[in-house]
Structure 1
Amino acid sequence: MTLEILTSDALSPFRHGFFTRRGGASSGVFAGLNCGAGSSDQSEIVAINRARVAAALDVAPDHLAGVHQVHSATAVTVDAPVTDRPRADALVTDRPGLALGILTADCQPVLFADATAGVIGAAHAGWRGALDGVLEATLDAMEHLGAHRADIAAIIGPSISQSAYEVGPEFLDDFLAEDTDNTRFFATGRDGRYQFDLPGYGLHRLRRAGVGHAEWTRHCTYSDPARFFSYRRTTHAGEADYGRLISAIRI
């Protein structure tokens, strides 16, 4: 099966993609394009999957850079192939021939591009990273390379949607402590719980930070098992592990 790659015109002319699980070599619960080295999938198979992604972006496998994601607000600048992945949740570069990749399985994958300045970025933005400022940190790092916020397009890829993201009242408290207006990203759920709009919150943070264009592809990872891995769906199903989707961009 060939790879399925979701793209956005707003990130042109840079080659990029929000890769679905279709077209990979993994099997079982990881069936498809599992690119997560941190999963219990066979490392050789994960390497094959990542090589397919690199080939689709027309870069060598070792030029597909990644980070050791820790749900932080840390963004790093990449100017050469990464051998030891730093603990961070976003990458930026202005170097042609390098691809920036991040992994998700419900969290927001966000790809950034300033076509005028020739600067790109990629961020992993779960609720904690988004709340702590990983999206703004990515924009700051891009600006250090000469980008301008008004010229940056930021696209949120497949993420868990509000209808599938049930949270408790203590979760709401964290967001109210940051801004009481954040109540607009919560809908009343069952039994005193809430439904959280993660992509809506991500778009709010991006637009408040001054990006020129921000949008969500409107793909829900939880509700489409044929195309996307989902940590929460795996948890509800009682499965032992889950695959990781990759989203990447290159100059």
Structure 2
Amino acid sequence: MRGWTTTRANGSFGLGSSEPVADVMSRWGALQEELAALGVTRLATAHQVHGAEVAQHHGDWRGWLRGQGIDGHWTATPGTALAVTVADCTPVIVWHPRGAVAALHAGWRGTAARILDRGLDLFEQQGYAPDECGVFLGPAICRDCYEVGPEVLDAMFGTLHHAKGYLDVRAVLAEQATVRRVASVRTADGCTKCHQDRYFSHRGGDAGRMLGVVALL
């Protein structure tokens, strides 16, 4: 297994900006070439909708698969890579030492909808115990930069709020992982908005998008 997140230095992988298509697609092409050098012949991505659907990929295809309305991917088939696009939301990578991985796109909506639980449920259903899994929470917006309305806090915590507040999505995800008793949780240093020299930030006005990638070798 190999997992990583891209940075601003790698350029944007967003397919919805006004950047020339050729420039964006050249980066996707370079990614696929990098994966091919690792023996990875399949790449799964999707148009994301801030939901909690996690697709399973079983290796009956080759090339770049792009789904619709999906915010997470799971596979236990070697030679498959999974990627999610982010720019303040959290790229979540989950792995099991016996050879299964997931990539999840977790903004506040997906986190409130328990996309991490949905992903861990797939591991469990396929015979990979969640308490043997590792979880990595990639670069995302920090609490101090993420002021949200009371309706967001209501959805996240299930209690009534009457004013704006600050939200640490990665802390909520880490707590959800801890409740599932995963073997390890690691959180990346840095905030996408505090460190816009390194990362793209939607709240910071960037149209660019980074990737969270995991490849099962």
Structure 2 length-normalised TM: 0.89
- Find the counterpart in structure 2 of residue 98 from structure 1: 80
> Which residue in the other structure is 1:22 paired with?
9
Distance change in 2, residues 1:169/1:101 (3 Å): same
Q: Deviations over 1:149-169 (max 9, x none)?
A: 111101000000001001122
2:18 alignment partner in structure 1:
40
Secondary structure in structure 2 of the residue aligned to 1:67: strand
**How many equivalent pairs are there?**
211
Tell me which of 145, 149, 153 is aligned to 1:164. 145
1:133 corresponds in structure 2 to 114
Q: Is the 8 A contact 2:45 2:65 kept in 1?
A: no
Residues 109, 47 of structure 1: alpha-carbon distance in 2 compared, 3 angstrom cutoff: same
Greater percentage in helix = 1
- Say if 2:83 and 2:212, in contact at 8 Å, map to a contact too: yes
1:160–1:220 contact (8 Å) kept in structure 2: yes
Which structure 2 residues correspond to residues 170-181 of structure 1 after superposition, within 5 A? 170-177=151-158
Do the aligned partners of 1:54 and 1:60 also contact (CA within 8 Å) in 2? no
Question: 1:74 aligns to what?
Answer: 53
Q: Which moved more, 1:192-201 or 1:158-167?
A: 192-201
- Correspondence for 2:210: 245
Alpha-carbon distance in 2 for matches of 1:203, 1:126: 13
Task: Give the letter for the 1:45 counterpart.
Answer: D
- Please report the RMSD computed on the Cα atoms of aligned residues, expressed in angstroms: 2.1
User: How far apart, CA to CA, are the structure 2 residues paired with 1:170 and 1:56?
Assistant: 42
| Alpha-carbon separation, structure 2, partners of 1:229 and 1:199 | 17
Distance 1:165 1:111, change over 3 A: same
**Counterpart Cα distance in 1 of 2:81 and 2:28:** 12
Deviation at 1:61, TM superposition (A): 9.0
State the match for 1:6 in structure 2.
none
Note the C-alpha offset of 1:40: 2.4
Higher relative contact order (Cα pairs below 8 Å, separated by 6+ residues)? 2
Unaligned runs of 5+ in 1: 1-13, 24-32, 184-191, 235-240
Identity of matched residues, %:
29
Q: Secondary structure at the match of 2:166?
A: strand
Q: How far, CA to CA, are the matches of 1:199 and 1:104 in structure 2?
A: 13
243 and 140 in structure 1: CA distance in 2 versus 1, 3 angstrom threshold: same
Question: Which is strand-richer, 1 or 2?
Answer: 2
Shift of 1:17: 0.8
- After TM superposition, the score normalised by the length of structure 1 is 0.77
Task: Encode CA deviations 1:65-122: one digit per residue, 9 max, x unaligned.
Answer: 101211111101012345441321100101111110000000010011101x200000
The code of the aligned residue for 2:166 comes to Q
- CA gap 1:20/1:125 in 2 versus in 1, 3 angstroms: same
